[in-house]
Amino acid sequence: MSKKKREIGRRRALQNNFYACGLLKKICPSLVGHLAISRFLGYFEWLFYSAFFMRYVINSLEAGDSFGTIMVFVGIVVAVSGAMSLYNNVLNGHIMPISRAIVNNGLYKILFKKSRNVELECFEDSEFYDKYTLAMEKADERLIDTVQAVLRTFFGAIASVCAFVFMFQVDPISVLFIIFPVIGNFIFNRMISHLDYARNQDMVPHNRRIAYINRVMYLPEYAKEMRLTDVFKLMRRQSREAIDGLADVTKKYTKKAVVLHWLYVMFTFTFIFEGLLIYGAYRTLVSHSMTLAQLAVITSMMVSTTWILIGFTESLTALFKNGLFIEYLRSFLEYNEKIPENSEGADPGKRIESIEFRNVSFSYKDKQVLKNLNMEFHEGRTYAIVGYNGAGKTTLIKLLLRFYDPTEGTILLNGRDIREYDLKKYRALFATAFQDHRMFSMSVMDNVVMGEDIPMEQREEKVTRALKLSGAYDKVMTLKKGLDTILTHEFDNEGAVLSGGEFQKIVVARAFVKECPFKIFDEPSSALDPIAESTLFDNIYESCKDNTLVFISHRLSSVQNADWVYLLADNTVKEEGSHKSLMEQKGIYADMYSKQARNYLALSEGGEVA
């Protein structure tokens, strides 16, 4: 069998299991103790019943002990097992449910803290993000499972040794039969699990395709095209191919798997069971060196020993599997933030006199997005950023907000590198409306305020004003609870879901409501009708008179009134100046503008826009 590549070494996997124990102990120490006790009691009970109980009773019967004597023994056993059962039920019925909530709370608070503190880039790096989602998914349950597996391995090992010793006591030779399930578990079962792993890997592409088609078939965004075109046939064919693919993969492994399965079952169960039965019969009937009680013990010990061994191997496998999950969790928690959200530094004050991009370049995954950028933004002025799709306009804003740091060059606020400032205080200087609108499952009011420090008594007034400016107020007022309406269906079935355009307006209102010197609008009007668009731009100019204002737009008419226009092309600032001077330059901007304006101004092809 070819050695499969492991993502992490065995040593690291084991260390991770200890790390998990340490983590759980930190979050909820009593739980670790309880889990250990209950695991110990479980194995103890198992071994006791299969090794001692029957043997004692039959021995007593054969020795002709009185009914009463045996009953005293049975009575003690029943009382002890009653106490153990009581403990287990208090654990499962009372302690566990509470501990689970405590672990959930404790672990996720650690995770939240970290995920709020890592830089935005982590979320955009798919490799990082995939691992990170794997770490977050049901992390609390899996952490407990991991610790359980560690305990199962530990006590399973002890129990296995005890089982060997007991069988040895009963009959030294019978212990030799244990070699069969040991071979079955550690050799054949392992080979099977390697084979399962390889087969699963081969099946992944087919299963992914099946899952994709499933999604396409029920998501509403595909529904129209499903009806208007024959794309359904395409999907159906793909799904059939994937299922045939699964069958082909299976075929490749079947023969080998059947042989291994046969060997596994024979060694793990059949050989030890039938072998011991024949051996026991021989000892009692032919050599007369074994009592009935001993034989009875051997028959029940062989079953429990086999299952203890199986449990042990399974928990060992789980140990390595969990090691990988913990690795994701651990590497996330131990990740060194490039731009920690809580980075401290100088207080930037409340004013922005100037912001300057000095030779700023930025690459994302070896792809140059911005190159040698030089820009300036001065207090109280209005700037427009225009350019082709994909020219890096939004990236520029992200650099300004310090979601990323430039790969080269510096950005200066009031003459000082922005990396030297306290990040939270720095970012508080800006209000930004991005294109991709995300609503939180909170009231409209809270969705506009977004936790800004606005006194309660002024909130309604300020939010109303912001919503009126962004054009969403009338729509919000048609909702049943007005400003108090909860948005989205996340956990309020009565929650309101608005159209994309309305959500966009609420995002814009967030930027209106925030009191800060610098406001940024990224394509605020792309989904709006002409009247709404025009009003919105008037409102932006009007209400941000005292602020420094930056907006990105494809609607060049709205750009005209800006004090300064930056045109981005070929990853850098290609043209800059006032609208008028850029038109006179007759460069890219002038070409864009005239192409857009031509039809409005009823000019013929090639005609010039003044």
Identify residues 219-238 at the interface with other proteins (CB under 8 A).
220-238
Specify the residue, 15 or 368, whose C-beta has the smaller distance to other proteins: 368
Q: Answer for the pair 355, 536: CB distance below 8 angstroms, yes or no.
A: no
Identify residues 178-207 at the interface with other proteins (CB under 8 A).
199, 205
In eight-state DSSP terms, residue 608 is: P
Supply the minimum distance, in Å, between the C-beta of residue 300 and other proteins: 6
Specify the residue, 171 or 319, whose C-beta has the smaller distance to other proteins: 171
Question: In terms of Cα–Cα distance, which of 581, 544, 546 is closest to 560?
Answer: 581
Supply the minimum distance, in Å, between the C-beta of residue 242 and other proteins: 8
Among 436, 457, 474, 546, binds other proteins (CB under 8 A): 436
Of 172-180, 292-300, 364-372, 539-547: span binding other proteins (CB under 8 A) = 292-300
Q: Answer for the pair 610, 597: CB distance below 8 angstroms, yes or no.
A: no
Q: Report residue 49 as tokens.
A: 């019943």
Identify residues 307-346 at the interface with other proteins (CB under 8 A).
341
- 357 Rama sector, left if φ>0, alpha if ψ -120 to 50, beta otherwise: beta
Supply the minimum distance, in Å, between the C-beta of residue 299 and other proteins: 5
Alpha-helical (H) ranges within 118-189 are 121-124, 126-136, 139-170, 179-183
Among 181, 184, 280, 323, binds other proteins (CB under 8 A): 280
Of 23-31, 156-164, 354-362, 449-457: span binding other proteins (CB under 8 A) = 449-457
Identify residues 142-181 at the interface with other proteins (CB under 8 A).
none
- Edge-first strand order for the sheet with 382-387 is 430-433, 518-522, 548-552, 382-387, 564-569, 572-577
Among 257, 310, 324, 516, binds other proteins (CB under 8 A): 257
Determine if 582 is a binding residue for other proteins (CB under 8 A).
no
Among 62, 344, 420, 563, binds other proteins (CB under 8 A): 62
| Whole-number Å distance between alpha carbons of 175 and 170 | 9
* AA letter at 446: D
* AA letter at 94: H
- SS3 label, residue 447: helix
Alpha-helical (H) ranges within 286-388 are 292-333
Of 147-155, 160-168, 249-257, 460-468: span binding other proteins (CB under 8 A) = 249-257
Tell me the three-class secondary structure of 504-553, residue by residue. Answer: HHHHHHHHHHCCCCEEEEECCCCCCCHHHHHHHHHHHHHHCCCCEEEEEC
Identify residues 550-569 at the interface with other proteins (CB under 8 A).
554, 556-558, 560
Q: Answer for the pair 124, 349: CB distance below 8 angstroms, yes or no.
A: no
Q: Answer for the pair 322, 149: CB distance below 8 angstroms, yes or no.
A: yes
Question: What pairs with residue 355 in β-bridges?
Answer: 377, 413
Identify residues 76-135 at the interface with other proteins (CB under 8 A).
77-78, 81-82, 85-86, 88-90, 92-95, 97-98, 101-102, 104-105, 108-109, 111-112, 115-116, 120, 123-124, 129, 132-133
How many residues touch other proteins (CB under 8 A)? 167
Supply the minimum distance, in Å, between the C-beta of residue 464 and other proteins: 20
Question: What pairs with residue 520 in β-bridges?
Answer: 432, 550
Determine if 501 is a binding residue for other proteins (CB under 8 A).
yes
Determine if 67 is a binding residue for other proteins (CB under 8 A).
yes
Of 2-10, 15-23, 405-413, 592-600: span binding other proteins (CB under 8 A) = 592-600
Specify the residue, 13 or 536, whose C-beta has the smaller distance to other proteins: 536
Determine if 250 is a binding residue for other proteins (CB under 8 A).
yes
* AA letter at 145: D
Measured CA to CA in angstroms, residue 226 lies from 36, 213, 217, 220 at distances of 55, 12, 8, 10
Supply the minimum distance, in Å, between the C-beta of residue 90 and other proteins: 4
Specify the residue, 187 or 296, whose C-beta has the smaller distance to other proteins: 296
β-strands 354-364, 367-378: how paired? antiparallel
**Cβ-based neighbour number of residue 549 at 10 Å:** 22
Of 10-18, 148-156, 448-456, 541-549: span binding other proteins (CB under 8 A) = 448-456
